[in-house]
Amino acid sequence: MNRREFASVGLGLGIQAHRLWGDAGIANPGKIDETLRSGIARRKIPAAVGMAATAGKTLYTGAFGERDSQGTPVTADGVFAIASMTKAVTTVAALQLVEQGKVTLDEPVAKHLPQLEKLDVLDGFDAAGKPILRPAKTPITLKHLLTHTSGLCYDTWDGNMFRHASQAGVAAPAGTAGPLMFEPGARWQYGQGCDWAGRLVEKISGMSLEDYFQARILGPLEMHDTSYILPASKFDRMVTGWTRDNGSPLKQNARALPAPPKTFNGGGGLYSTAADYTKFMQMILRKGRGPNGGPKDAVILQPKTVESMAINQIGELTAGKMRSSRPNSSSDVDIQPGATEKWGLGFLINTTAYQGGRAAGSLAWAGLYNTFYWIDPKNGLCAVLLMQFLPFVDKEAVGMLGDFERAVYASLKG
């Protein structure tokens, strides 16, 4: 039996909006409800929680489906593993250090992380299958790390990295980097950049990422359900993950309280809720300001820094298209087929509008377990859709995201 929880509440931020939907409401929340309710039934998705908001108020919240195979209904405050949605938080942390003058975007990051000095570039494989390596000519910068142009790639979406990592005895030991799949700055390829940006934050700040995030970002934004550590007190709200192997029906993973991590990864690992991540997105819409009256009137980033996050930082390169080497973890990724995407600092940027959805210049990314968000500065709107299954960008997850997005925009009233 599915249960839906709906709420539409103002956050009382007193913000004077100057955008199309600054004073918007949802004219027909029932349409969004039905989109999610029917979508999970038709697409056989275990659970979905969606939320949409302006910079100053929540417009829609809906939770449908089941927390686990025992039939426990998912609730609007369900806790999800958000995987690479962590990257945007890490990017904000790194940019705070840039604002403080403790690091620059363009200096060699090996100044702080010697592991990233004197790396090799993989130039393919010889006839015997042995890696062909040469020294990199270009030093890696923080900008490279935050824009996925460093050459430090995930093997899931880079064929050469997958081949290299699959060869016995050639994988880099823990705590080391490389090889690079290309000269830094030469192309865009999703990868480990934010993992290393997280290590940079820890090195410069002298704090763990968990402690830094809580003190400088999550606490000031009152994101009390977001952490690398899921306490036992929140286990009942945790949404269990599911996996689809080789196209088979989804099977539930073992339901257990996750053990606290021994280290914290800037590229993934946070747990969060739709409401918490919406607070983070609202901060971006407010050009770096936290909630009025929060701890309090917090300034997370300066407006010019937030603006830099929304500007193309990769020139003529194209982002958002990836061929998967691990189909049970991820399908092939093409965020907007037929269109060109760019990358700012921390966010994918769509150069053309989505039909019936977000405007051109919107910011977005996702997490491996099919958690998605977008921030539409032109329309003053942000939204998040959380699911919890593999593979990433499974066709049913992508279909649900598109249906949810179109329903949100179709239901807006100015």
Which residues form the catalytic set?
84, 87, 190
Q: How many CB atoms lie within 10 A of CB 161?
A: 23
Per the listing, tokens 């039939």 go with 71
Task: Go through 238-273 and write b for each residue having 16 or more CB atoms within 10 A of its CB, e for each that does not.
Answer: bbbbbebeeeeebeeeeeeeeeeeeebbbbbbbbbb
| Burial class, 388, CB count within 10 angstroms (exposed 0-12 / middle 13-18 / buried 19+) | buried
Bridge-based pairing state of the strands 348-350 and 321-322? unpaired
Q: How far apart (Å, rounded) are the C-alpha atoms in residues 372 and 83?
A: 10
Q: What is the DSSP string of 99-153?
A: HTTS--SSSBGGGT-GGGSS-EEEEEE-TTS-EEEEE-SS--BHHHHHHT-SS-B
The SS3 assignment for 209 reads helix
Q: How many CB atoms lie within 10 A of CB 385?
A: 25
Contact of 35 with 404, CB cutoff 8 Å: yes
Backbone CA torsion sign across 118, 124, 125, 127 = negative
Strand partners, 251: 243
Contact of 309 with 284, CB cutoff 8 Å: yes
Nearest CA to 392 among 320, 319, 317? 320
Per the listing, tokens 């925009």 go with 409
Contact of 362 with 20, CB cutoff 8 Å: no
Task: Go through 29-57 and write b for each residue having 16 or more CB atoms within 10 A of its CB, e for each that does not.
Answer: beebbebbbebbeebebbbbbbbbbbbbb
Contact of 183 with 121, CB cutoff 8 Å: yes
What are phi and psi for residue 87, nearest 5 degrees? -60, -40
